[in-house]
Amino acid sequence: MSVNASLPSYASGTSTAPLLGDTIGANLARTIAAHPDRDALVDRGSGRRLTYRDFGAEVDRVALGLLGLGVAKGDRVGIWAPNRAEWVFVQYATARIGAVMVNINPAYRTHELEYVLNQAGISVLVAAPSFKTSDYAGMIEEVRGKCPELRELLLFGGSAWESLLAAGDQGDPARLAGVEATLSPDDPINIQYTSGTTGFPKGATLSHHNILNNGYSVGELLGYTEIDRIAIPVPFYHCFGMVMGNLAATSHGACMVIPGPGFDPATALDAVQAEGCTSLYGVPAMFIAELALPDFDSYDLSTLRTGIMAGSPCPVEVMREVIDRMGMAEVSICYGMTETSPVSTQTRRDDSVERRVSTVGRVGPHLEVKIVDPESGVTVPRGTPGELCTRGYSVMLGYWNQPDRSAEAIDAGRWMHTGDLAVMDEDGYVGITGRIKDMVIRGGENIYPREIEELLHTHPDLLDAQVVGVPDERYGEELMAWVRMREGTEPLTAEALRAFCRGRIAHYKIPRYVHVVDEFPMTVTGKVRKVQMREEAVRLLG
């Protein structure tokens, strides 16, 4: 990394293209008018294939159905489902009527679901009946009585969902146009929950302007046009799927390809081959799983040109294989956070492999980034580590109904403080060097140990628990719980701890390793030394 220490660690993204000033619905209408007969959406799981004209009709049908249910601008509509065509219809339909779509993580258990339903004040919940081992319908019934604002439940394939579609068919398009005329690009239309350090997640609230422009900008840097076909095996409930995937596609007239409801390496490559995809998304663990398939060489991936790898750092060998064996010569690394819609920095199509594995690229168009001293807030010289901050159109409106938490994250100058430690070189490339707090990134999922620790504290045999991230080849990081047992109890095994957590917390937050100790390493002031625990964990696990 070349460094000119006389320069401050600040960069702003220039662009010849202006920001988009419309709502998501208006932007979609423009794409439909330009490319009515091109493929908009292919859902491999259900076999559905829609042109932009057909896609627009389905979106309008759901939008009119929601209006018929009494959903008004600003009302919160929750969606709890894996990837499928209907998820995308709901995404665009809620935006068309100015309702706020609340993404619910498919891995949530009942207490997380109940919290989100109440915190966001969700009045209408759209959900899949089940997925894998999760009985969504059963879990919703379990918490429904504790969620006073929830008045409508629409299960995909159920009678209430079918009635909504039938009502949409009878709805008046003039009513929809009238509602749409009252919307502003700055209206909130999406809430995405990010793990909270104090046990419960915070709802990052995003506007049309935030996510439409971020999706468009990411697509521009990938060189998207209407001939691109994007395989999206990453979840829609996260910005990666619904913004970098769906909105990047629809703002360019490209096609969204859903390989299946959840990630499966063979299904993803099968979709690329069958649909002639030009772009493929994933976290490094997904690409590793695809490359490891015994019959990998039998897939025809010759149409691939680009894609996005994000969520955690990419090992250099994996990047080389993605470029050489998958043909993704223009693959891009993106960095960001839900609170910034999400992408702040991105590698460019002509960046070297070295740049793509050692940095997270340069600042995106119309955005600013700086690296500051975490204590003083002063911008540090290039080459000096500090906290990465972002400012611009992408910064969220705030955390839903949590003005105090919003003020902690966004300062008076409208800079979003990421909590990530980073360093900037003289060309403006940013490298992430660590995290100020102890967040763990497992397979692209941000996990805050505090939430897991609070759950472990409810175990009758545990005196205390601390959770740290340890390096893992497959997921980037795994979780290890350090526990202190109550007197006279048997030491807790990893399996027993996992059994205790199962059903109480999302599966990706369940620790893989357990280490029983008498005392935690402490600082002189009585703070637990997680850095020392991580070092010790690495030694213990070899």
What would the pLDDT profile of 126-161 be if each residue is shown by its tens digit?
999 999 999 999 999 999 999 999 999 999 999 999
150: left (phi over 0), alpha (psi -120 to 50) or beta: beta
Average pLDDT over residues 231-243: 96
Which secondary structure element, helix H or strand E, spans residue 388, and what is its range?
Answer: strand 386-392
CB 13 within 8 A of CB 366: yes
Average pLDDT, the chain: 94
The structure tokens listed for 432 are 């992430």
- pLDDT band, very low/low/confident/very high, at 525 (cuts 50, 70, 90): very low
In one-letter notation, the amino acid at residue 54 is D
Average pLDDT over residues 264-268: 97
- pLDDT band, very low/low/confident/very high, at 1 (cuts 50, 70, 90): low
> Which of 319-328, 382-391, 435-444 is predicted least confidently?
435-444
- The three-point CA angle 172-173-177 to 5° equals 125
- Does the pLDDT of residue 457 top 70, yes or no? yes
- Does the pLDDT of residue 421 top 70, yes or no? yes
Average pLDDT over residues 419-444: 87
What is the percent of the chain where pLDDT is above 70?
97
- pLDDT band, very low/low/confident/very high, at 197 (cuts 50, 70, 90): very low
**Alpha-carbon span 280 to 233, nearest angstrom:** 8
- Helix spans in 182-313 (H): 208-221, 239-241, 248-250, 265-275, 284-291
- pLDDT band, very low/low/confident/very high, at 441 (cuts 50, 70, 90): confident
Going by C-alpha positions, the residue among 326, 229, 343 that lies closest to residue 276 is 229
- Does the pLDDT of residue 206 top 90, yes or no? yes
- pLDDT band, very low/low/confident/very high, at 2 (cuts 50, 70, 90): low
pLDDT of the residue at 531: 83
CB 346 within 8 A of CB 372: no
pLDDT of the residue at 198: 46
Average pLDDT over residues 203-224: 98
What is the percent of the chain where pLDDT is above 90?
84
**Alpha-carbon span 244 to 218, nearest angstrom:** 6
- pLDDT band, very low/low/confident/very high, at 542 (cuts 50, 70, 90): confident
What would the pLDDT profile of 44-75 be if each residue is shown by its tens digit?
999 999 999 999 999 999 999 999 999 999 99
What would the pLDDT profile of 334-388 be if each residue is shown by its tens digit?
999 999 999 999 999 999 999 998 899 999 999 999 999 988 999 999 999 899 9
Residue 442 contacts by C-beta under 8 Å, 6 or more apart in sequence? 469, 472, 475, 476, 477, 478, 479, 508
Average pLDDT over residues 285-293: 91
Taking each continuous run of H as one helix and of E as one strand, the counts in the chain are 18, 26
pLDDT of the residue at 85: 98
- pLDDT band, very low/low/confident/very high, at 454 (cuts 50, 70, 90): confident
Average pLDDT over residues 251-268: 98
Which secondary structure element, helix H or strand E, spans residue 513, and what is its range?
Answer: strand 513-516
- The three-point CA angle 54-56-58 to 5° equals 70
- Does the pLDDT of residue 526 top 80, yes or no? no
Query: All domains of the chain, ordered by start, with CATH?
Result: 12-422 (3.40.50.12780), 440-541 (3.30.300.30)
> Which of 51-65, 222-236, 425-439, 454-468 is predicted least confidently?
425-439
Residue 43: CA count within 13 A, CB half-sphere: 17
Query: What pTM, to 2 d.p., does this model score?
Result: 0.85
- Does the pLDDT of residue 322 top 60, yes or no? yes
